[in-house]
Amino acid sequence: MVRHQCACKILQPTNTSPDTIAGGGCFDAEETGRKTIGGCMKDSGEDRCSGKGRCGNCGGKTAGTFGPCVLSQLSQSGVEMKGWTESKFLLSCNKNPLCWVTELHHPGEGGKTAGGNSANTTKSAKPAPQKKDNSSVAASERKGGDRQTDKDRKKDVPHPRMQFDDENRVEKAKKRSVVKQAEARNRVELFRHLPQYEHGARLTDLESKFFQLGPVHPAVYKVGFRYLTGDISGGNARCIAMLQAFQESIKDYSTPPEKTLIRDLTSKINCYVSFLIECRPLSISMGNAIRFLKRRITSLPLNLSESEAITSLVSDIDRFINEKIILADNVIVKHAVTKIRDGDVLLTYASSSAVEMLLLHAHELGKRFRVVIVDSRPKLEGKMLLRRLVGKGISCTYTHINAVSYVMHEVTRVFLGASSVLANGTVYSRVGTACVAMVAHQFRVPVLICCEAYKFHERVQLDSICCNELGDAEMVSRVTGREDINSLDGWTSSENLQPLNLLYDATPSDYVSMIITDYGMIPPTSVPVIVREYGREYLLI
């Protein structure tokens, strides 16, 4: 066991009993339950502890976040704790998933607040690395005995999103960001933790920066641009576009000298991902796809040549898109079509690709039904769906969400799409879906959600506030095509007026009758079963 001393020299572990503390480095299976201390910054070129360091054993980079119970565990094991504050880190090495390094931090280091978010501050220092990566997010429950499994599990859980109401972190993120954004004015207090930027300025800014954005591949840049302008919208479309852009960039990839393919490619992907996040926050389906891609990269055998690795990754992405999105949609349509009978009145909200495919297929099969499309401002996505359905000869009714309780009495089935389904059966979908589902439930109309399995997530959300996305507030005040409606003009100057344009909401599972996935028709309570049984499969294939 090698012992390291932190450059801040605070740590002088006095207890060297081998069963509680080892000095810095990897441990493998039989050493689970030990904490290691070390992770010195000495050779990294930085002259103070910043919570990042290198693994004492293998030299891999560490990522930091902390857990307060580490403190208690350490104090129990007799390490001297004088002068320490709550800001302690439990780090682990990225390179070797079994590396655990505990670096104990100088109390003078400012700005650290409780919770896993401190990792974000340090992480923002490098825009890419471990935003989505999961090497040891130390949560409060840290049991010595099953640290291995905890760690593996934590590897799967994506990092919580950055909270935008802390000034320090926002400042640091801004310094490193590629896209310069001005924060929107008149922000709603309740939603301060979500990012919101002035819409118009970003586009021109990005355009001017086009030739300076070295690290970002042009395909990714193009996709990011399209997200910004709202050209691509809808979970599946965004995911496919992003994956295809990544495919392009991987095809053009070549390993720089003195770097390994796996690590370099991973950091490149991280870089692209953070660029895309700045254009538009990721949807949950995109997050799952990125996790899949990263898993595939890290699980590449080391002896593969570069071209083989690249072809393997490219075909993996193709397979993911094909199996998890396109074929999955076919299976969903096949199942859902059995639930449409002749004489049905089907209601759908906004525009979902899965529901559209389903309606077109049912029409092709010759079923006689009519469709009620409920739409809402400011996006008015239902209009395009209406156009396409009427073009195929389906009789449609189009109405605004204000009238949903008026039309619901003649509806026999409600088909909705989802951006994601969470572990407790909550459906996270376009804002307004919860309203429609609630009214349908009240009228005892069955609500069927069509959602591919790759969009499932093990997160639990109880309301629509803690995690959401804010759109352009300007769209609330303006109505396209009606220039005469201008009573909200000049809202930016009024302090008391704070327009809010939410994009998603959470529908409780009680309102949902069944979820139709490519694994069949399941009740909403079975979503965690699918995640549990097939989580490995649909991420690792």
Q: Which of these ranges, 39-47, 121-129, 499-507, 518-526, lies near another protein under the rule CB under 8 A? A: 518-526
Distance from chain centroid for Cα 112: 24
In terms of CB distance, is 184 or 354 closer to another protein?
354
Q: Which of 446, 499, 508, 535: binder of another protein (CB under 8 A)?
A: 446
Q: Binding of another protein at residue 327 (CB under 8 A)? A: no
Q: Which of 437, 519, 531, 539: binder of another protein (CB under 8 A)?
A: 519
Q: Binding of another protein at residue 522 (CB under 8 A)? A: yes
Q: Binding of another protein at residue 533 (CB under 8 A)? A: yes
Q: Which of 139, 237, 337, 345: binder of another protein (CB under 8 A)?
A: 345
Q: Binding of another protein at residue 337 (CB under 8 A)? A: no
Q: Which of 460, 529, 540, 541: binder of another protein (CB under 8 A)?
A: 529
Q: Binding of another protein at residue 339 (CB under 8 A)? A: yes
In terms of CB distance, is 114 or 529 closer to another protein?
529
Residue holding tokens 């399209």?
Answer: 226
Q: Which of 149, 343, 392, 400: binder of another protein (CB under 8 A)?
A: 343
Q: Which of 409, 480, 483, 484: binder of another protein (CB under 8 A)?
A: 409
- The H-assigned helical ranges of 192-303 are 199-208, 218-229, 235-251, 261-279, 284-298
Q: Which of these ranges, 96-104, 147-155, 316-324, 406-414, lies near another protein under the rule CB under 8 A? A: 406-414
Q: How far is the CB of 417 from another protein (least distance, A)?
A: 18
Please choose, from the candidates 218, 298, 314, the residue with its C-alpha nearest in 3D space to the C-alpha of residue 265: 298
99-101/25-26 β-pairing: antiparallel
Distance from chain centroid for Cα 68: 26
In the sheet that 520-522 helps form, which strands lie side by side, from edge to edge? 396-400, 369-375, 344-349, 413-417, 447-450, 514-517, 520-522
Residue 344 token pair: 């049905």
Q: Which of 79, 179, 467, 514: binder of another protein (CB under 8 A)?
A: 514
Q: How far is the CB of 345 from another protein (least distance, A)?
A: 8
Contacts of residue 189, defined as CB under 8 A and 6 or more positions apart, other chains included, come to: 498
Exposed e or buried b per residue across 73-94, where buried means at least 16 C-beta atoms within 10 angstroms of its C-beta: bbeeeebeeeebeebbbbbbbb
Contacts of residue 482, defined as CB under 8 A and 6 or more positions apart, other chains included, come to: none
Contacts of residue 252, defined as CB under 8 A and 6 or more positions apart, other chains included, come to: 217
Percentages (nearest 5) of helix, strand, coil residues in the chain: 40, 15, 45
In terms of CB distance, is 288 or 513 closer to another protein?
513
Contact residues: another protein, CB under 8 A = 339, 343, 345, 368, 409-410, 413, 446, 448, 513-514, 519-523, 525-526, 529-530, 533-534
